[in-house]
A = this chain, B = another copy of it.
Amino acid sequence: MDLEFQKYSTLPKYAFQNRYQEFEETKHLSKEEKEAYYPFDKMEEECGIFGLHSTENLDTFSLSQFGLFALQHRGQEACGIAVGNNGKILSVKDEGLVLDVFKTIEEPQQYMGSTVIGHTRYTTAGDKKKYNFQPFFAKNEYDQIILSIAHNGNLTNAKQLRKELEDEGVVFRATSDTEVILRLIQKNLDLGLRGAIKATMEKIEGAYSVVGITRNKFFAFRDFNGIRPLVLGAIDENTFVVASETCALDGVGAQYVRDILPGEIVYTSDNEDGLQSYLVKDDCVNKICAFEYIYFARPDSTLEGINVHEVREKSGMKIWEQAPVEADIVIGVPDSGVPAAIGFSKASGIPFRPVLIKNRYIGRSFIIPSQEMREHFVNLKLNPIISEMKDKRVVIIDDSIVRGTTSKRLVKILKNAGVKEIHFRSVSPPIIAPCFLGIDTPTKDDLISANMNKEELRKYLDVDSLEFLSVDNLVDILGSPNHCFGCFTEKYPVKNPDELAFVDQGD
């Protein structure tokens, strides 16, 4: 009987639900118990956003469906849209994938408005309350929606701002920091829309990419460091699209125009055609999150002019240069480890073998009523083609190591398959600190690289060699140090949030 499962019976029913923020629930567990508890440990992206404004008579309902569908990888648990149609804002949001939620809409025609914003949401476990689904909206006294926003990122001063607003009499309906942005804009609407957004940006701190609508206008804005991505495209000269990634522009047939600038507001106005631009500060430097390239973004997206797939392939080439090794085959952990493995193969000449098969139907957690099932469980997510790796020296390339639990299991799978040597390569630097800027990460206690040096970790994983891509090499690949490397360096482009800001970073 494997030790780490003996305590299984004391775990909650949905024990295999993989969410980091269940601090309370799991903090009494030992390290090994936690491993059983978090079988799939990855950093988790928190949301994709999409906005569209058109004066053409387009099927904006389908377009927003396509755009959100292309952003599904940024959040699978809930989604929603808000549509401005003839001075009236309608909204639909629910738990489920984009195709599931859109399928329930009974009269799609009424959602074909001139302006649409949408959101795909990654929800943290304790936070499946519908009131935190996005887009958020504010109403007037007649129960009509007058303002709606969708947000990707995380504010670092949300708690304090919320308190200030509540002291002024503002009433909050939800617990997410997105509502702080909403209420600040709402409160300042007498400054005009642009003025209200500017006043809001001058108050809020942290990472935020936002799209929004009022009853007759569309807007989008991005924080002063441009931490979360936001791109602008056009379907025709009267139809603009703003989205988290360029793959959503491809999804709706839009041409990429440019990335929204840090500190920029784009908006429609009564007086002029097209989209207006306004820079709240004009000396901002873009410091987009490096992890977007490593893991979150889709490989076919291009952010700030850099294609994601290329970064991944280069990271494989670079880590070969950084830490060459003799081996028979190179395997990538699907999906994001695969391009890096191909890059490694290209650089090294060691053949790439796609022999770790991923079950595509993972998504929900298992309900396992008994204690004995762990060993069977290991192979469910990743199953090896044993004949291809038996007695081989294997380089295994993963995008990152977070808690170390998945990596340890993977090593066990490979050993069970009879692999002779294992050379583990992470194409991101060691993750030593949590993210406060829109990513769901474990606390420092649970980040394995915050607690073990490389040699300790190599022994723990029980591999023949272990290497991480260095931060310098990552800078080299990305072409510039102007990125957020906070989780690798513990140096963030914004000042650290107060401790309690952790509580609600669900957007």
Contact = CB atoms under 8 A, between A and B. Distances in A.
A23 interface: no
Contacts of A361: 69, 72-73, 76, 97-99
A277 interface: no
The 5 A-B pairs at the shortest CB distance, nearest first, are namely A59-B370, A142-B171, A253-B376, A300-B357, A108-B369
A388 interface: yes
Contacts of A253: 375-376, 379
A304 interface: no
Interface of A: 58-59, 61-63, 65-66, 69-70, 72-73, 76, 97-100, 102-103, 105, 108-109, 112, 138-144, 170-171, 173, 186, 247, 250-253, 298-300, 302, 307, 309-310, 335, 338-339, 342, 346, 351-355, 357, 359-361, 363-373, 375-377, 379-380, 383-385, 387-388
Contacts of A307: 385, 387
B376 A251 contact: yes
A366 B65 contact: yes
B141 A140 contact: yes
Contact of A379 (B142, B250, B299): B250
Contacts of A355: 309
A62 B366 contact: yes
Given A59-B368, A309-B385, A72 B141 contact: no
Contacts of A58: 370, 372
Contacts of A388: 309-310
Contacts of A144: 171
Contacts of A363: 97, 99
B59 A364 contact: no
A369 B109 contact: yes
Contact of A383 (B108, B109, B300, B379): B300
B310 A373 contact: no
Contact of A357 (B76, B109, B299, B384): B299
A385 B141 contact: no
Contact of A139 (B143, B372, B373): B143
Given A99-B364, A99-B366, A338-B354, A376 B63 contact: yes
Contacts of A251: 376, 379-380, 383
A143 B142 contact: no
A247 B59 contact: no
A107 to B, nearest CB: 9
A100 to B, nearest CB: 7
Contacts of A298: 357, 383
Scoring A373, A375, A388 by chain B CB atoms within 10 A of each residue's CB, the highest score goes to A373
A50 to B, nearest CB: 13
B367 A103 contact: yes
A372 B141 contact: no
